[in-house]
Structure 1
Amino acid sequence: MAASVDERLAQTFVDLADTLVADFDLMEFLHVLAARSVELLEVDAAGLLLADGRGALRLVAASTEQARMAELFQIQNDEGPCVDSYRSGQPVTVTDVRSPDIVSRWPRFAAAAQEMGFAGVHAIPMRLRDQVIGTLNLFCSAPVSLDPAVARAAQALVDVATIGILQERAVRQREVVAEQLQAALNSRVMIEQAKGILAERHGVTPDQAFVMLRRYSRDRNRPLTQLAAGVISGSAEITGSAGITGSAGITGSAGAGS
């Protein structure tokens, strides 16, 4: 049994790795993970819950409609093993949803799970150190405890998936930061160019030109970068010595409606 699980686990890692490419599709990755979990771990259905930016759980993938409904039920009613696993950061195993302790602990979920044809549920937190990002949830139609080899495979699968998701988020965040930095650099270049144009045009220093540009931007409630772009393109022209002597004017399309 263990060797068979190991072989299937290795193939699952290969399948997941195929999705971790430059144009990484998170939803495709999650759906592959749900489908492979059913095949590898010998369960009847699987679902994935991920926390959004506010920490609220969202259903992101399910292998069957019944699993989808079971996941949504837990989210909507804030009750069930998957919700508890996310909050505690620990695996939660329900061998039989009909057992008195489970019915007492999650009465609505226990009833709903039976209606959907599930008797056993195994929720595994997706965590890296102290950060929990969601849960992988396994559903069984009969009361069952996971074989130790299967449980180890499930944990390995969750660990790899968690690292993949966090890596994708880190890359996306770096891209956002890089875009913001590039935008700031581009804005700075435009402002420097506009300062040079104004300094030459009005016979002032670059620092005085910047005062003109900034004062006009504030007085007219116009973004500094936008105004600088207008000065460079010639669509906006600051006349006089705006911000230095208190007199300022503008000609061209930028002054319309001013």
Structure 2
Amino acid sequence: MTSREQLLASTFVSLADTLVADFDVIDFLHTLATRSVELLDADAAGIMLADAHGGLHVMASSTEEARLLELYELQNNEGPCLDCYRTGRPVARDDQSAMRSSWPAFTKELQGLGFHSAQALPMRLRAETIGALNLFRLEPGQLSPADLRVGQAMADVATVGLIQERAIAASEHLATQLQAALSSRVQLEQAKGVLAQRTGLGMDEAFQVMRAYARSHNRRLSDVAAQIIDGTLGDQQVRKGSKPRPGAQPHT
């Protein structure tokens, strides 16, 4: 196995490994950018990712020049990376004349920083595009078909890893929210019992009193429940603060 093949294999392993406990998305994307330069006929690379609202952000770059070019794209709403993200397809132009026709301001900035070619590969999984990989060259012309296949494969693997990591993070966040909701529910039941015992109210009445008090004082019900349990909110305060509405339905 040649050194390039070894580096390529190592890169795919690195891009697929997003399930580690200390996963760092910035370091992960920096790896994609630097390895793109090492493995492809590119002199610089940059990566943009979309936020939850579809807005693109510069997330990693192999050089300061690449970072500046990507920022320029965003600030001027012009360039291959933006077109690539919007279409979900690779974007390139055959020569500088075609580049100037498509992206006049960007092409001028590109040349001012010493580059003569730019193209972008989508970071996508099926119909979902989460960003784009920008590749810059000092020489005119596009990447070879072989390099394009390797570059797209790296972008695809990185995308799968990122989406997988996001799904796990979202699942863990949901589990935390559910656990918090369950804990709050237990606390509410306990507070209902405490208030019912102290005041002689029924359990449903006690809940309605707690709920009405929380609403009238713009408080979270779980906070009111906690204060009833620890005694910092007195029974008479709760009852005086709000009375259960006539005909109120029992809480379930």
Deviation, structure 1 residue 205: 2.0
Match of 1:27 in 2: 26
For 1:93, give the aligned amino acid.
A
Match of 1:171 in 2: 168
Q: Distance in 1 between matches of 2:143 and 2:238?
A: 79
1:212 to 201, 206, 209: 209
Q: Distance in 2 between matches of 1:127 and 1:241?
A: 55
Contact 2:89/2:122, CA 8 A, preserved across alignment: yes
Contact 1:202/1:240, CA 8 A, preserved across alignment: no
Structure 1 residues 97-149: Cα deviation after superposition (integer angstroms, max 9, x where no partner): x2x22212211111111111111112001111111111011111001332222
TM-score by length of 1: 0.87
* 1:135 to 2:138 alignment: no
Label 1:193 to 1:135 Cα distance change in 2 as closer, same or farther (>3 A).
same
3-state secondary structure, aligned to 1:93: coil
2:106 to 87, 109, 113: 109
Match of 2:219 in 1: 222
Match of 1:68 in 2: 67
TM-score by length of 2: 0.89
Percent same amino acid at aligned positions?
52
Label 1:93 to 1:244 Cα distance change in 2 as closer, same or farther (>3 A).
closer
Structure 1 spans left out of the alignment, 5+ residues: 247-258
Mapping of 1:1-258 within 5 angstroms? Answer: 6-17=5-16, 20-96=19-95, 98=96, 100-239=97-236, 242=239, 243-244=243-244
Match of 1:249 in 2: none
Deviation, structure 1 residue 207: 1.1
Deviation, structure 1 residue 65: 1.0
For 1:46, give the aligned amino acid.
A
Contact 1:95/1:120, CA 8 A, preserved across alignment: no
- Structure possessing the higher relative contact order (Cα contacts under 8 Å, 6 or more residues apart): 2
Q: Distance in 2 between matches of 1:92 and 1:116?
A: 20
Q: Structure 1 runs of 4+ off > 6 angstroms? A: none
Q: Distance in 2 between matches of 1:133 and 1:167?
A: 12
Deviation, structure 1 residue 175: 2.0
3-state secondary structure, aligned to 1:61: strand
The count of residues paired between Structure 1 and Structure 2 equals 243
Label 1:77 to 1:245 Cα distance change in 2 as closer, same or farther (>3 A).
closer
Label 1:84 to 1:201 Cα distance change in 2 as closer, same or farther (>3 A).
same
3-state secondary structure, aligned to 1:217: helix
Contact 2:72/2:106, CA 8 A, preserved across alignment: yes
